[in-house]
C-alpha cells in the first residue's frame, strides 16, 4: 500500500473569468521511504497539488479527488481536527522562502518547541532538549545558544535548516519540500539537498521534492512526475526519465538545459510540438 | 583593437551608519577589480550573493560612483562625481533580474521604448516611434504591442521589452544582471538565444552577471569568479571550466547539480550501496 495515494485530483479556482483548473485529473502516489520529484514550470500546478494535501489552499479553491488517502485513511473525509493531528506531525512541509516562512517575532527555539508541545505534548526541559537535538541534526553549530536567536539573526541557509528542524520535529512519515533551495546560493543549495537526502535515509521518511530544476531532480529523486499546465505529462524512475524520456515535453525540457546545448543555439520548448499530449496524458 | 570597457583597481566601500546600539563600520563590497573587455565579447561575472558582483555592475553602469579606481569606456576615462554626461549615459545600458519590477506598470510599452530617445536625443516623435516598432520586431515581439501595458505580458516577454529598451540607444556595452534567473527553463532558453542573435547582429558587448554556471558556460567568452569582493579567478571560458585553479571555483563546480545520466547512475549506485550496508 502506498503511503500517500491520490487518484484523479482536480483543484479548481473560482476566478472573475470563470473556473480555472490549476490541477486537472492527476494521480500521485508515494511509497514509504521513497523520494519522489514533481517537476514543472510555473503554472504547472506542482505546488497546488501538494497544498491540497496539506489543506493550505484558500477558500476560493475547490478540491475534488476520487481518493486522497494517507496510510489508508481518507484525508478528505476526516474531520478538520483529525486532519490537523496528521498535518504537521506525520506530513510536514517546507517552503521556498525560509526567511519568510519563520515568524520574525519569536525566537527559533520557541517556534521549534511550539510543534513539540502541540503534537507530542513535550514541555519544559524535555522539549528544550529535543529542540537542541533537532538543531544538531540539521547541522546548526552551537545549537543551545542558537535557540534564543531570532530569524533575522540567521542567514537564509540557516533559516532553511531551522524550517527543516521544525518539519522533522515529530519524525514525519512524509516530508514535502516545495522548491526548498530556489532562493539559496549554489553552495548552500548543495548543503541543503545533502541534508534532506541524509535525513530522508536516516529517518526512513518519504520525501516529495517539488522543483523546476532538472539538476535538483537528478541529484535527489528515485522517481519523477513531470507536470505541465495541470496535467501529468510523464512518470518514470529518474534514470529512465533522463536516459529515455517518453513525452515530447520532457524531451523539450531536457533539451533546453544550457549544459545540453548542441551547437550555438538552444532548442526551446516551442520547437517541440507536445500540446496534443495534454489530452492524451490523462 | 582598443577595449570597449576597461576597469582598473576598482573599489567600493559602503559606510554603515552607527546607531545607539551599534558602532559605525565600513563594508568593502568590491576590493580592487581590474579587467578589460573587447567589442563583441561576453564577460561573465560569477559569484554568490554578497560577493560584490551586483555592486560591480552598478559601478560600470554608472549608477554608483566607485570609491577608488578608474573606469574607461571606449578608451575615455569616466568621472561621474558631478553627474553622468548625456553622451556617456547612452553608451551603457542595463537589464535587471526581475522583469516584473523593472517596468513601470502605468507606462505603455511604446513609451517605455521611446523614453530613452526622448531623454537623450533630439529625435522627432515620428522617428522615435519608428525606431521602437523596429526594435519590437528585433526582440521577437509584434508592432501591435506598442500600445499595451506591462501587465499584459508574460515574464519572458517583459524581459524582451527590457532588453529592447536597453538597446534603443545603441549602447557600447550592455550589463545583464541575472537576466534569466527569474524565468522558466523554456523561456530562459529563448532569452539566451535572443541575446546570442542580437550579439551576432549588432556586435554587442555583454557583461553578464550570474550565479548559474550552466548558463555561464553556454553564453560566456570569458569568466570572472568573485568571492568576498575579490576576483579569485579570471580567464577564458574553456580555461576556467576546464582547469579551475582557485579552491572557491572548484567548490562552486562541485556544488552545481549535475543532470547527466552518468552522474545519476553513480548516485543511485552509492545509494544502493548505503542501503545494503545499513540493512
- Where chain B has pLDDT below 50, the residues are none
Give CA–CA dist A177/A161, Å, rounded. Answer: 12
**Using CA atoms, how far apart are residues A87 and A73, in angstroms rounded to an integer?**
13
- Residue listed under C-alpha cell 519590437: B136
In sequence order, the 6+-apart residues with CB closer than 8 A to the CB of B75 are B2, B3, B6
Query: Of A186, A254, A266, which is closest to B193 when you measure between CB atoms?
Result: A266
Q: How far apart are the first and last CA of chain A?
A: 23
Q: Does B265 touch chain A (CB under 8 A)?
A: yes
Among chain A residues, the shortest Cα distance to B197 is held by: A265
- Locate the chain B residue with the closest alpha carbon to A222: B268
Confidence (pLDDT) at A281:
43
Q: Does A252 touch chain B (CB under 8 A)?
A: yes
Name the nearest CA neighbour of A157 among A131, A130, A193. Answer: A193
pLDDT tens-place string over residues B183-222: 888 888 889 999 999 999 889 999 999 888 888 988 999 9
Residue B222 sits at φ, ψ, to 5 deg, of: -125, 150
Q: In this structure, what are the phi and psi dihedrals at residue A124, rounded to the nearest 5 degrees?
A: 55, -135
pLDDT score of A23: 92
What's the confidence (pLDDT) of residue B110? 93
Q: What is the CA radius of gyration of chain B?
A: 21
For A11-18, which contacts have Cβ atoms below 8 Å and span 24 or more sequence positions?
A11/A45, A11/A48, A11/A49, A11/A52, A11/A57, A11/A61, A11/A62, A11/A63, A12/A61, A12/A62, A12/A64, A13/A60, A13/A61, A13/A62, A14/A60, A14/A61, A14/A62, A15/A60
pLDDT (0 to 100) of residue A252 = 87
Query: Is-contact B21 B195, C-beta < 8 A?
Result: no
- Nearest Cα residue to B208 out of B46, B65, B36: B46
> Which residues in chain B have their CB less than 8 angstroms from residue A193's CB?
257
Alpha-carbon gap, residue A172 to A45, rounded angstroms: 24
Residue of B nearest to A262 (CA): B218
Distance from the B200 Cα atom to the nearest Cα atom in chain A, whole angstroms: 11
Indicate the domain borders of chain B.
Answer: 38-61+82-278
Task: ipTM value, please give it.
Answer: 0.78
Q: Check residue A282 and give its pLDDT.
A: 40
Nearest CA in chain A to B257: A215
Distance CA B74, CA A54 (A): 58
| Alpha-carbon gap, residue A52 to A50, rounded angstroms | 5
Pick from A216, A239, A254: which is nearest to B264 by CB? A239
Dump pLDDT digits (tens) for A73-104.
999 999 989 999 999 899 999 998 888 899 99
Output the pLDDT for position A3.
94
CB of B49 within 8 Å of any CB in chain A? yes
C-alpha span between A119 and B216 (Å, rounded):
47
Tell me how far CA of residue A43 lies from CA of A29, A76, A252, A277, B132, in angstroms. Answer: 21, 24, 17, 17, 31
What residues have CB less than 8 Å from A179, skipping those under 6 apart? A47, A95, A96, A210, A211, A212
Residues ≥6 apart with Cβ < 8 Å to A16: none
pLDDT of residue B19: 78
**CA dist A192 → A99, A143, A198 (Å):** 15, 17, 10
**Integer CA distances (angstroms), B202 to B39, B166, B172, B194, B196, in order:** 10, 13, 10, 12, 10
* Per-residue model confidence (pLDDT) at position B120: 87
Q: B38-61+82-278 architecture in CATH?
A: 3-Layer(aba) Sandwich (3.40)
Cβ–Cβ gap A212/B184 under 8 Å? yes
**Domain ranges across chain A:** 4-90+170-281
B36 vs B72: CA distance, rounded Å: 9
Residues of chain A where predicted confidence (pLDDT) is lower than 70: 262-264, 269-270, 279-282
Residue pair B143/B136 in contact by the 8 Å Cβ criterion: yes
Q: Would you tell me how many other CB atoms lie within 10 Å of the CB of residue B170?
A: 10
In 3D space, the residue among B44, B93, B29, B50 whose CA is nearest the CA of residue B212 turns out to be B44
Please state the length of chain B: 279
For residues A9 and A75, the answer to whether their CB atoms sit within 8 Å is no
The number of C-alpha atoms within 13 Å of B219 and in the hemisphere containing its C-beta is: 36
CA A85 to each of CA A6, A54, A75, A88, A123: distance values in angstroms, whole numbers, following the listed order: 19, 12, 11, 7, 18
The b/e string for B142-164 (b: 16+ C-beta within 10 A; e otherwise) is eeebbebebeebebbbbbbbbbb
What's the CA gap between B92 and B173, in Å, rounded? 6
Domain A4-90+170-281, CATH number (from 3.20.20.140, 3.30.465.10, 3.30.70.120, 3.40.50.300): 3.40.50.300
Nearest to A186 among B255, B261, B275 (CB): B255
Sequence-ordered strand ranges (E) for chain B: 5-16, 25-37, 42-46, 68-73, 76-77, 92-95, 173-177, 206-210, 222-227, 230-236
Amino acid at each position: 500500500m502506498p503511503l500517500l495515494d491520490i487518484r484523479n485530483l482536480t483543484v479548481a479556482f473560482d476566478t472573475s473569468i470563470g473556473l480555472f483548473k490549476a490541477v486537472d485529473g492527476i494521480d500521485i502516489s508515494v511509497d514509504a521511504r521513497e523520494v519522489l520529484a514533481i517537476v514543472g514550470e510555473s503554472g504547472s500546478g506542482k505546488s497546488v497539488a501538494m497544498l491540497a494535501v496539506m489543506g493550505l489552499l484558500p477558500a476560493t479553491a475547490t478540491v475534488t479527488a476520487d481518493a486522497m488517502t494517507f496510510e489508508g485513511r481518507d484525508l478528505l473525509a476526516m474531520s478538520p481536527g483529525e486532519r490537523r493531528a496528521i498535518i504537521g506531525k506525520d506530513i510536514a512541509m517546507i517552503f521556498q522562502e525560509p526567511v519568510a516562512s519563520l515568524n520574525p517575532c519569536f525566537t527559533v527555539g520557541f517556534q521549534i518547541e511550539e510543534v513539540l508541545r502541540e503534537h507530542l505534548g513535550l514541555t519544559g526541559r524535555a522539549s528544550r532538549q529535543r529542540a537542541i537535538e533537532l538543531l544538531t541534526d540539521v547541522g546548526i553549530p552551537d545549537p543551545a545558544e542558537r535557540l534564543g536567536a531570532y530569524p533575522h539573526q540567521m542567514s537564509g541557509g540557516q533559516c532553511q535548516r531551522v524550517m527543516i528542524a521544525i518539519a522533522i520535529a515529530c519524525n514525519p512519515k512524509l516530508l514535502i519540500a516545495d522548491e526548498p533551495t530556489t532562493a539559496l546560493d549554489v553552495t548552500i543549495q548543495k548543503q541543503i539537498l545533502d541534508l534532506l537526502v541524509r535525513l530522508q535515509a536516516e529517518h526512513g521518511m518519504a520525501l516529495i521534492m517539488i522543483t523546476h530544476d532538472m539538476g535538483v531532480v537528478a541529484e535527489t529523486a528515485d522517481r519523477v512526475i513531470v507536470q505541465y499546465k495541470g496535467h501529468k505529462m510523464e512518470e518514470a524512475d529518474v534514470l529512465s526519465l533522463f536516459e529515455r524520456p517518453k513525452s515530447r515535453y520532457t524531451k523539450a525540457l531536457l533539451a533546453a538545459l544550457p549544459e545540453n546545448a548542441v551547437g550555438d543555439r538552444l532548442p526551446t520548448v516551442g520547437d517541440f510540438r507536445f500540446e496534443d499530449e495534454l489530452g492524451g496524458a490523462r | 583593437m582598443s577595449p570597449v570597457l576597461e576597469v582598473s583597481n576598482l573599489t567600493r566601500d559602503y559606510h554603515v551608519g552607527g546607531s545607539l546600539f551599534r558602532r559605525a563600520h565600513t563594508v568593502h563590497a568590491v576590493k580592487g577589480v581590474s579587467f578589460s573587455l573587447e567589442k563583441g565579447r561576453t564577460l561573465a561575472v560569477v559569484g554568490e550573493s554578497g560577493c560584490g558582483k551586483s555592486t560591480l555592475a552598478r559601478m560600470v553602469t554608472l549608477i554608483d560612483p566607485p570609491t577608488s579606481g578608474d573606469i574607461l569606456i571606449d578608451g575615455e576615462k569616466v568621472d561621474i562625481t558631478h553627474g553622468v554626461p548625456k553622451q556617456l549615459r547612452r553608451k551603457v545600458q542595463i537589464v535587471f533580474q526581475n522583469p516584473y519590477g523593472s517596468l513601470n506598470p502605468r507606462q505603455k510599452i511604446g513609451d517605455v521604448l521611446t523614453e530613452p530617445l526622448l531623454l537623450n536625443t533630439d529625435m522627432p516623435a515620428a522617428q522615435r516611434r519608428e525606431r521602437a516598432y523596429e526594435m519590437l520586431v528585433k526582440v521577437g515581439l509584434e508592432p501591435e504591442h506598442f500600445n499595451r501595458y506591462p501587465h499584459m505580458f508574460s515574464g519572458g516577454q517583459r524581459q524582451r521589452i527590457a532588453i529592447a529598451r536597453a538597446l534603443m540607444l545603441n549602447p557600447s556595452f550592455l550589463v545583464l544582471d541575472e537576466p534569466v534567473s527569474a524565468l522558466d527553463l523554456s523561456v530562459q532558453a529563448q532569452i539566451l538565444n535572443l541575446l546570442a542573435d542580437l550579439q551576432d547582429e549588432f556586435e554587442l558587448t555583454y557583461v553578464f552577471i550570474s550565479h548559474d554556471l550552466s548558463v555561464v558556460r553556454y553564453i560566456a567568452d570569458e569568466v570572472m569568479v568573485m568571492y568576498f569582493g575579490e576576483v579569485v579567478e579570471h580567464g577564458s571560458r574553456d580555461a576556467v571550466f576546464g582547469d579551475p585553479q582557485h579552491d572557491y571555483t572548484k567548490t562552486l563546480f562541485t556544488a552545481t547539480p549535475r543532470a547527466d545520466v552518468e552522474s545519476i547512475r553513480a548516485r543511485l549506485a552509492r545509494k544502493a550501496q548505503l542501503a545494503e550496508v545499513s540493512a
